[in-house]
Amino acid sequence: MTANFAPTNWQLSAIQLTSQPDPVDNFAVLQQYLAQLPTAERHLVVLPECFAVFGGPDGLQQSYAEVIGDGMLQQQCAALAKQFAIYLVAGTIPTTSVDPQRFSASSMLFSPQGELIADYQKLHLFDVSVADSMGTYRESATTLAGNKLTLSTQGSLKLGMAICYDMRFPGLMQALAAAGMNVLSVPSAFTRVTGEAHWYSLLRARAIENQCFVVAPGQTGVHANGRETFGHSVIISPWGDILADAGTEPGVISVSVDLAACQQLARTMPIKQHNRFNSELKL
Ligand SMILES: O=C(O)CNC(=O)[C@H](CS)NC(=O)CCC(=O)C(=O)O
C-alpha cells in the first residue's frame, strides 16, 4: 500500500546485514530484503558500510575498488534502485583513489531511474584501539580519506551523507544542517564494544542537535574474520525518538515520515538561529 500523500511524505528504510567477503552472497541477501520493503512513491533505502564486501582477508576490498561511475558493484546497485524504484544509498563501495595502494570508502546515492546522483568519501578514518578481539583498527592503512561534504536535494529530501566513525564529529553534521539537511544517512559497521557504549547516544544527539531524521544501518553479528559488529540499525526522528530498531539479526526496518517535521520543529525551537558558534564567537 502506498501511504505517501504530501510531497514531504517519505518512506525511510534501512537494511541490516552480516556481510560476507563475497559480493555475490551479499547481493543475494540484499535482493531478498529489498523485496520485503513496502512500496512508496518516495522511498529512501540505506545499506550498511561495506555491505558488498566485508570481513575478508587484507587487500580484498582493494581488489574490488572501482572508478566512480563505473564498475560491477555500482552497476548492481543501480539495477536494484531501478528494479525497486527507490533512492538507494549504497552504504560504502570501495572506489579507486589517487593512491594506488588505497581505496576510498564511497557512499553512493542512486536514483529510482538507476542513475548515480551523489557520492561521498568517508572523511574520518577509524584508527582506534578497542578492547575487542581485533584490538586495533587502522582504517587509514587501506583507505584514503575524502575531503568534500555531500548534500543531495531530491524534491523535499535534503540528504546529508556521513559514514560510521564520522558520527563522532558533529562539525560535519552541523555544516550539512546549515545547508538545509533534513535526513542524515550514516551507513555503519560499528564494533560491538563501542556500539554498546556510544551508538544510540551519538546518533540521537546528531538527530536532536541538527533537527533531522537519521537513518543508520549497521553491520551485525560475527563476520568471516572474527570481527563482531553491533547491529541495532535505527531510524531516528528530529526529536530524538527511535522510530525503528533492527535489533541484532539481519533484516529490514522501514517507517513512513513527514519531512516537514524538521521545519516545524525549527520554528518552535530555532536552534540554528540561536547558535552563536557559526562565526560570532572564537577563542
Ligand atoms: O575496515 C573495514 O573493513 C570497513 N570499515 C569499517 O568497518 C570502519 C573502519 S574499521 N568501521 C568504523 O568506522 C567503526 C567505527 C566505530 O566502531 C566507532 O566509532 O566506535
CATH at residue 184: 3.60.110.10
Residues 104/121, Cβ–Cβ less than 8 Å: yes
Rounded to two decimals, the pTM is 0.97
Task: Give the span between the Cα atoms of 77 and 46, in whole angstroms.
Answer: 11
Residues 40/10, Cβ–Cβ less than 8 Å: yes
pLDDT in tens, the chain (283 residues): 445 579 999 999 999 999 999 999 999 999 999 999 999 999 999 999 999 999 999 999 999 999 999 999 999 999 999 999 999 999 999 999 999 999 999 999 999 999 999 999 999 999 999 999 999 999 999 999 999 999 999 999 999 999 999 999 999 999 999 999 999 999 999 999 999 999 999 999 999 999 999 999 999 999 999 999 999 999 999 999 999 999 999 999 999 999 999 999 999 999 999 999 877 888 8
**Residue 39 forms part of a structural domain:** yes
**Residue 283 forms part of a structural domain:** no
**Residue 280 forms part of a structural domain:** no
**Residue 281 forms part of a structural domain:** no
Question: CA 153 → CA 75, 111, 119, 159, 264, distances in Å?
Answer: 22, 12, 13, 6, 19
Q: Of 50, 77, 158, 164, which one is the catalytic site residue?
A: 164
Distance of CA 15 from the midpoint of ligand 1 (Å): 17
Measured by CA distance, the residue closest to atom 17 of ligand 1 is: 190
Measured by CA distance, the residue closest to atom 6 of ligand 1 is: 189
pLDDT at 3: 52
Let me know if 164 is a catalytic residue.
yes
Let me know if 41 is a catalytic residue.
no
Distance of CA 195 from the midpoint of ligand 1 (Å): 11
pLDDT at 278: 77
Residue-wise DSSP of 180-249: T--EEE--B--BHHHHHHHHHHHHHHHHHHHT-EEEE-BBEEE-TTS-EEE---EEE-TT--EEEE-TTS
Question: CA 279 → CA 209, 239, 273, 276, distances in Å?
Answer: 18, 26, 12, 7
Task: Give the span between the Cα atoms of 29 and 22, in whole angstroms.
Answer: 12
How many structural domains compose the chain? Answer: 1
Q: Which three cell numbers stand for residue 45?
A: 533505502
**Residue 232 forms part of a structural domain:** yes
Helix (H, G, I), strand (E, B) or coil at 255: strand
Q: In terms of residue numbers, what domain contains 87?
A: 9-275
In degrees, rounded to 5, the angle at the alpha carbon of residue 201 between the alpha carbons of residues 220 and 192 is 25
**Residue 282 forms part of a structural domain:** no
Task: Give the span between the Cα atoms of 52 and 216, in whole angstroms.
Answer: 17
C-alpha torsion sign, points 14, 18, 22, 24: negative
Task: Give the span between the Cα atoms of 270 and 177, in whole angstroms.
Answer: 12
**Residue 96 forms part of a structural domain:** yes
Q: Which amino acid is present at 224? A: A
**Residue 1 forms part of a structural domain:** no
Let me know if 262 is a catalytic residue.
no
